[in-house]
Amino acid sequence: MATQSVARALALTGTERPLTRQWGTVLLILTDIAAMEFSLLLGYYLRVLLIRYVPVELGPQQYQGLALGLLAIPVVFGFAGFYPGHGMNPVERLRKRVQSTAAVFALLLAWDTLVQDRTWSRGILILTGLFALIVPVIGDELLRHYLGRKSWWQLPVMILGAGRTGSLVAGLLRSNPSLGLRPAVLFDDDPSKWGTTVQGLPVAGPLHNANQLRDTISTAIVAIRGVHSGRTAEILQTLNVPQVILVPDLEGTQTLWVTARDLGGVIGLEFQRHMARRLNSHLKRAMDLILGVPALLACLPLLALFAAVIKLVDRNGPVFYRQRRIGRNGREFEVLKLRTMRQDSDLALLQHLAANPGDEAEWRARFKLRRDPRILPLIGHFLRRFSLDELPQFIQVVRGEMSLVGPRPFPGYHMDSFPEKFREFRQTVPPGLTGLWQVSARSEGDLQLQQSLDTYYIRNWSPWLDLHILVHTARAVLMGKGAY
């Protein structure tokens, strides 16, 4: 029975096509190379376009050396484990990408200064470096999103433990295909689970059967909750698989920025509490100003246009909508939005819920309605679908009432729906213009999911997580998915 279950799992996960998976790795490398060289082209022509009166000596051929130097970046990426990069969290990958790219460009700058006597234009070098921090990241994310949907690319893994933790791991891997890890089969010492399925995957016998697959599945995840340390050590010692990932019994703790430490023969886990450091608060504020001020200036024409349209649709009401929200440390402030609702929105909501009792559960779960009678015609739905009604909040980011990224500021009735301890925990950080909930679920997320995602963000915060959320906010807004 176990052998048949394993055979079916392997057939579904593409473990018999390792050469095809290698082509995916080649695609990742070629994409990075093409993105780096494209960054050089963008840097060169943008510099010429912006500063035409300063000649660029010798023209493009002068930068052949720089083009070759850029090839060192994918080499560094390779040593950092990006190829193929299965199982690497995208936030961690972003951090390593930026650090690696910055280090190589620092070396190229030093080489040009000390060896070539400043042969390359500083403007072109700086612009190329800026594009190299952005273009390859976008190309890599798009390609990994595509590859994540292909069974031949995903690396099959076996999960030891078919209980609650094993089921949780299998579900998370399936819902995060960009990690490149696809659960294929589970093992458990409980005979009652043999031959059953967990998350649609077969449970193929006891734990020691896992060694039979070491030639076809190279990664095993040990996810057994409530097992004493002696039994865990025994499992790890007898498991003859090239790569083993242990999921510790630490549910509810942070998962990013955790490092294993050897404490004289005892393993320890070091948790970096970034939010607890005052310097990081200043860094977050600096990021808000560096990115928020240009964003505010850029959206001013849009604000003027939308304000005029709102006045045309509803002349009696104001352009902006203000509402008291709960901010950091429980302080209340007025959040600013473009008005997308009728003046009598409260009355319209009560009348709608009275006439449509079936919508009551939807309202209580999310405090949002798909068929919302309060929305202004045409302009209201458009602004909300693409979150353009929140553009005025860039003003509040610059003023320091909000941050670019953080838990969204909720009105009092929404906050009162959460447990008291979570409300206190949530108010330890500034509210954000966007957040993990917005890029993951937007209006589709219920209260439990909102609490889970906000908790994850606060525990795992770093500047890299903020950048990751900002990049994915742009995609979520453009797609308009889950917003109404």
* 142 and 173 assigned to the same domain: no
Nearby residues of 150 by Cβ (< 8 Å), 6 or more positions away = 24
At 317-364, the pLDDT tens digits run 888 888 888 888 888 888 888 888 777 666 666 666 666 766 666 666
Domain boundary among 147, 164, 193: 147
* 24 and 121 assigned to the same domain: yes
pLDDT at 38: 93
* 238 and 310 assigned to the same domain: no
Give the highest mean pLDDT range of 157-171, 290-304, 325-339.
290-304
Flag whether 468 is in a domain: yes
* 36 and 96 assigned to the same domain: yes
Query: Within 10 A of 404 (CB to CB), how many other CB atoms are there?
Result: 25
Flag whether 460 is in a domain: yes
* 32 and 111 assigned to the same domain: yes
* 166 and 299 assigned to the same domain: no
Dihedral angle over CA of 242, 247, 248, 251, nearest 10: 170
pLDDT at 171: 86
Flag whether 301 is in a domain: yes
At 28-54, the pLDDT tens digits run 999 999 999 999 989 888 887 877 655
Flag whether 93 is in a domain: yes
* 323 and 389 assigned to the same domain: yes
Q: Picking from 101-110, 139-148, 167-176, 335-344, which range would have the lowest pLDDT averaged per residue? A: 335-344
* 83 and 216 assigned to the same domain: no
Q: Picking from 164-178, 229-243, 431-445, which range would have the lowest pLDDT averaged per residue? A: 431-445
* 408 and 285 assigned to the same domain: yes
In whole numbers, what is the pLDDT of the chain averaged over residues?
Answer: 81
* 58 and 179 assigned to the same domain: no
Mean pLDDT of all residues in 217-222: 86
pLDDT at 355: 67
Q: How many domains does the chain have?
A: 3
State the residue range of the domain holding 225.
2-16+152-251
CATH of the domain at 239: 3.40.50.720
